[in-house]
Amino acid sequence: MGKLDGRVVIVTGAARGQGEQEARLFVAEGARVVVADVLDDLGEALAKEIGARYVHLDVGVEQEWQAAVAAAKKAYGRLDGLVNNAGILRFNALVDTPLEEFMQVVQVNQVGCFLGMKTVAPELADGGTIVNTASYTALTGMAAVGSYTATKHAVLGLTRVAALELADRGIRVNAICPGAVDTAMSNPARLDPDADPAEMSRALDELYRKLVPLGRIGRAEEVARLALFLTSDDSSYITGQPFVIDGGWLAGVSVI
Ligand code: NAD
């Protein structure tokens, strides 16, 4: 028996990275998954491979959410879960960040999460789940990623409010707060077709060996297992909480 047997779950930003691993794991655990992304070729190919359904969805556009939810319900007849995973990152010092760039990050990371919950929650079966992908920058500051950090703090705030407002229908809402994870976001070399992924991962582990207590960067598969926990009945008494998955990075400073 799978942990998600019979459940229908939308995963945004699922064409690659953490979302891809979540879609793969959820299907393996018996869910019917809607892979949603703006990367249509990658998303279509993944959906075909794992037996899921692909929908084009720019999470910052309300009409696209309405169309995606309608497509999911038409295909599977119900909705039990949402993983708001889509996100973007931009590097800039606060005083150098153009307003347009700041608003672009807000539109995807924050508005996307808001619209996802706003559109999907009324359609979720009672007892459904929402998992919002925040970041450990939802809980601390990080220089050079001010727009991103602001939106991830906001995602955590939205998570707590939604947990309070949806609890009477048994809908649980939690947030994942990853540290550094080996995906294209933190390792753009992954998008280079000539690069060797194993070599890239070794280089990243070396970089994070001193920074992170567990001595390496996180893997998308590890985050997917946390998303599974929060989407399944294993977390049946948990709502409104941030879950840090960062190899101990936020635990504190070390002088040894
Ligand atoms: P990624 O860049 O590989 O994946 C992000 C996915 O989101 C891509 O498939 C992309 O096409 C999609 N996306 C971007 N804009 C979109 C939009 N407007 N509508 C729909 N889809 C869109 O990176 P990832 O690491 O897999 O990121 C997944 C989530 O994890 C993000 O929310 C990110 O902020 C968060 N996160 C990542 C890290 C990390 O170190 N990689 C750390 C903490 C949090």
- Ligand 1 pocket residue status of 110, Cβ below 6 Å: no
Give the contacts of 200 (CB within 8 A, at least 6 positions apart). 182, 187, 189, 190
Residue 46 domain-assigned (yes or no) = yes
Domain span at residue 34 reads: 8-181+219-242
247, part of any domain:
no
How far is residue 91 from each of residues 94, 144, 188, 203, 217, measured CA to CA in Å?
Answer: 9, 5, 13, 21, 19
CA of 109 to the centre of ligand 1 (A): 9
pLDDT for the residue numbered 191:
92
Res 201 pLDDT > 90: no
Predicted confidence (pLDDT) per residue in 88-98, tens digit: 999 999 999 99
- Nearest-angstrom CA–CA distance, 94 and 112: 22
Determine if the pTM surpasses 0.95: yes
**Is 191 a member of any domain?**
no
Count of domains forming the chain:
1
Residue 162, domain member (yes or no): yes
Give a yes or no: residue 213 inside a domain.
no
Residue 198 predicted with pLDDT over 90: no
Instruction: Tell whether the model's pLDDT for residue 139 goes beyond 90.
Output: yes
The catalytically annotated residue of 76, 136, 148, 208 is: 148
Q: What is the mean pLDDT of residues 102-117?
A: 99
Tell me whether residue 148 is one of the annotated catalytic residues.
Answer: yes
Separation of CA 15 from chain center: 12
Q: Is there a contact between 245 and 175 (Cβ–Cβ < 8 Å)? A: no
Ligand 1 contact via 155 beta carbon (within 6 Å): no
**Residue 229 is part of a domain; what is its CATH number?**
3.40.50.720
Say if 2 falls within a structural domain: no
Distance 168 CA to ligand 1 centre (A): 31
* 135 within domain boundaries: yes
Q: How sure is the predictor about 255, in pLDDT bands with cuts at 50, 70 and 90? A: confident
Cα-based angle 105, 159, 12 (whole degrees, multiple of 5): 55
pLDDT attached to residue 256? 82
Confirm whether 192 is domain-assigned: no
For 26-81, write each residue's pLDDT tens digit.
Answer: 999 999 999 999 999 999 999 999 999 999 999 999 999 999 999 999 999 999 99
| Distance between CA atoms of residues 148 and 142, nearest Å | 9
